[in-house]
Every structure is written in C-alpha cells, then in structure tokens.
Amino acid sequence: MGFPKSLGLLLLGVLKRLYWVVPSLFTDPFDFMERWFKMMYQPPSFLFWLLLSLGLILAIALTYHELRMQNIKVEGRLAQIENSKPNLVFKKAGEWQFYANGQPTYRALQAWFINNPQATSDNSVAKDVTAVVTFYDRNIKNKLEIYGCFTQAEVPDYATIAPIKDLKDKIDVWSPNDIPQKLLIAFKYPGDESAYGYAKSNFLATQDGRESGKEIKRGEHYVKVTLKGIGIGQLPFWFILTNPGREGLLSLSDQIKRPDLCKEGFQSE
C-alpha cells in the first residue's frame, strides 16, 4: 500500500471518529451548557487544548488499530493462498529394467516428483505440466535437450514403465498427494557404450529407441529437468547422470544445487 493511500485511509478514519474531540468543545466559556442551561463555568485555559489533543490521539490510535487488523487479515489470506499453491518436489530416482518377449532389453532411469503443498485447497492442483530434460556433457561441453515423457504405472512405489503408446507428454491434472509422477530420463542397453535421452520420439524414429540425435556419451552429465505448467510457473531441478560405458549401469544422483556451467566451460545454459 502506497503512502498517499495509507495517509488517506488514516485521515478518513480520524474524521469518522471526530466525536472524540467533542469534550473539548464544552470547555469554551460560551459552550452549550452556558447558553442552554445558564450555568457559569470557567475551565482552565489549557483544558481545551488538552482534551482536543487527547481526542485526536485517541482517534488516530483507533484508526491505526483498525487498519492494522485489516492488514493482518489480508496478509493471512495471502499467506493461505501462497501456502496452498502447487509445490512440486523431487522424491527420488527410480530404475527399471525393460523386457521384451520375456528377455531383458534396456534399463531406464526415472525421476519421481510429487505435489506437496504446505496446505491443500482447490488451488493446490497443478495442470498441464510438461517437462524438458537437458543434458550437459561435462567432458565435451555440449548440450542435449529433449521433451520429457511421464509414465503412470499401476504400482505407485515401483519403477515400472507403461507401453510407449501410453507414455504422456504432459500431466493434465496433478493433485496434491503422495503418489509420484515418474519422468523418464534416459535408457541404456546392456553392453552399450552410449545411453540415450528417453523421449517418445526415440521409438518413432527407430525401433529400438537408439536415436543418434539423443545419444548420451560415456562420462558424467549434468541433468536439468524443467517442469512447466499452470499453477507452478517454471521449476528447474538439477541432477548428475553417470554413464560408465560398457562397464556398468546408468545412475542418477539425488537433486543437487544449480552448477556453475560457465565456470566449467559451457557456453550457455
């Protein structure tokens, strides 16, 4: 609230409480009692100013109290609205071994997120949430960006993957609860040197998903997941993905602080 508006509200409140200065009027030698009731009364000369000052002080104090209580109520309502906004947080990383015709094929990494607001209300639901996954190769300093996809498995605490056709490009309604939405990050076949960013387009371009444009080479990679949607704005999450090459399995770290990419030699984020 700006100063002019605050001053205007204060003066309006004082004017509404001018009855507190009425006692000062009765100190005048020609006041109502003398003229109406013929009563002679000669108060001390300072009494008028004393009562006038006290009345004004009391009117100002009551107005200030009223405005302060109104402001507290407004701040409380704003805090309630803020606390009930959608709050998407990282829960954990998941891994899943994919099978085809009973045989193991690739192994995929997932990042699990939940909507965990401080207080729940109708405003706590996030809508139309999409994900962009960006990989930063710490060895050759290049960047790979893909549009992420979500899998909604039947078992909330198990890292299964729905069929490719059932993967979702966005979460239409993300309610506040403990059921995670599982974002696919990357996958790798046993014995392969390279991994690949996991997007639905991989399996449209090639049958096995090994699309060269989404290759993740051996080494460490920063991973930035950007969730965007109605009610959340744009939320970045950072991780480290490790690809040991043919010698091991992909791994995804817990959430980390935003790295200083410029310091590491990347041209831009």
Amino acid in the structure at residue 83: N
Per-residue pLDDT band for 136 (boundaries 50, 70, 90) equals: very high
Instruction: List pLDDT tens digits, range 44-75.
Output: 777 767 877 877 787 788 778 787 888 888 88
pLDDT digits 0-9 by tens, 174-210: 999 988 999 999 999 999 999 999 998 888 888 888 9
Tens digits of residue pLDDT in 204-249: 888 888 998 999 999 999 999 999 999 999 999 999 999 999 988 9
Q: What is the C-alpha separation between 213 and 146, in angstroms, rounded?
A: 10
How confident is the model at residue 19, as a pLDDT? 60
Contacts of 50 by beta carbon, 8 Å cutoff, 6+ apart: none
Handedness of CA 193, 100, 96, 203 (dihedral sign): positive
On whether the CB atoms of residues 88 and 178 are closer than 8 A, the answer is no
What's the pLDDT score for residue 222?
A: 96
Q: Crossing angle, helix 3-16 and helix 45-83, to 10 degrees?
A: 130
Tens digits of per-residue pLDDT, 259-269? 999 888 887 77
Distances from the Cα of 239 to the Cα of 11, 126, 227, 251, angstroms: 56, 23, 14, 10
Query: Picking from 88-97, 101-110, 132-141, 220-229, which range would have the lowest pLDDT averaged per residue?
Result: 101-110
- pLDDT band of residue 13 (cuts 50, 70, 90) is low
Torsion of CA 82, 179, 186, 129, to 10 degrees: -40
| Rounded CA separation 202/208 (Å) | 8
The confidence score (pLDDT) of residue 171 equals: 94
Domains in the chain: ranges and CATH: 3-83 (no CATH), 88-264 (2.70.50)
